[in-house]
Amino acid sequence: MSAKPFLDTNILIYAFASNDARAAPAEELLSAGGVVSIQVLNEFVNVSRRKLGRTWLQIEEALGVLKALLDPPVVLTAALHEAAIAMARDHGFSFYDSLIIAAAVQAKCAVLYSEDMQDGRVIGALTIRNPFAAA
- Compute the distance between CA of residue 64 and CA of residue 123 in angstroms, rounded to an integer: 31
Which residues is 111 bridged to in the sheet?
Answer: 127
pLDDT bin (cut points 50, 70, 90) of residue 18 is confident
Instruction: Please provide the DSSP assignment of 46-81 as one string.
Output: HIIIIIT---HHHHHHHHHHHHHHSPPPBPP-HHHH
Q: Domains of the chain by range and CATH?
A: 6-129 (3.40.50.1010)
Q: For residue 124, what are the contacts with CB-CB under 8 A and spacing of at least 6?
A: 105
Rounded to the nearest angstrom, the gap between the alpha carbon of residue 97 and the centroid of all alpha carbons in its chain is 10
The pLDDT of residue 49: 95
Q: Please, are residues 76 and 37 in contact by the beta-carbon 8 Å criterion?
A: yes
The string of pLDDT tens digits covering residues 59-118 is 999 999 999 999 999 999 999 999 999 999 999 999 999 999 999 999 999 999 999 888
Model confidence at 47: pLDDT above 80 = yes
